[in-house]
Structures are given as structure tokens and as C-alpha cells.
């Protein structure tokens, strides 16, 4: 999360996330980073927290 707030997220970090999460989960984060929209990237990263912890949201 700090990396998004500091406007830096390197390829190695993205690869690590890709190894932990389904590709569909990373789409919003990657799109925000591609657009240099770091506020949106931070929100997308926060939205991934339940996925990264292996939890699912209640329906």
C-alpha cells in the first residue's frame, strides 16, 4: 500500500502480487498504474486486501 502512496510500484512487486492473486483481481490496480492514477491504484490495492488474505467477501 505504501508503494502506491509513494507513486512507485516496481515490476517485481507486481509479479509477486500476480503470483498471489487471480489476474482478474489485479486489473483495476494495473489499469490505474498504467494511467499514473496513484489515488485509484491505492484504492484498488486496498480492495485486494481480502483476496490477499485468502478471504472472500460476504455476498
Is the pLDDT at 17 greater than 50? The verdict is: yes
Does 58 or 52 have the greater pLDDT score?
52
Is the pLDDT at 48 greater than 80? The verdict is: yes
Q: Report angle CA 14, 46, 28 to the nearest 5 degrees.
A: 55
* Rounded Cα gap, residues 34 and 28, in angstroms: 10
- Does residue 25 form part of some domain? yes
Give the per-residue pLDDT at 31: 93
> Nearest Cα to 48, choosing from 10, 6, 14, 7?
14
Give the per-residue pLDDT at 52: 57
Q: Cα 12 to the chain's mean position, in Å?
A: 13
- Does residue 57 form part of some domain? no
* Rounded Cα gap, residues 59 and 49, in angstroms: 16
Q: How many domains does the chain have?
A: 1
pTM: 0.62
- Does residue 58 form part of some domain? no
- Does residue 21 form part of some domain? yes
Domain of 38, in residue numbers: 2-52
Amino acid at each position: 500500500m505504501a508503494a502506491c502512496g509513494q507513486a512507485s510500484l516496481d515490476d517485481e512487486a507486481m509479479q509477486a502480487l500476480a503470483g498471489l492473486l487471480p489476474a482478474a483481481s489485479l486489473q483495476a490496480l494495473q489499469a490505474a498504474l498504467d494511467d499514473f492514477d496513484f489515488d485509484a491504484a491505492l484504492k484498488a490495492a486496498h480492495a485486494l486486501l481480502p483476496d490477499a488474505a485468502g478471504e472472500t467477501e460476504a455476498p
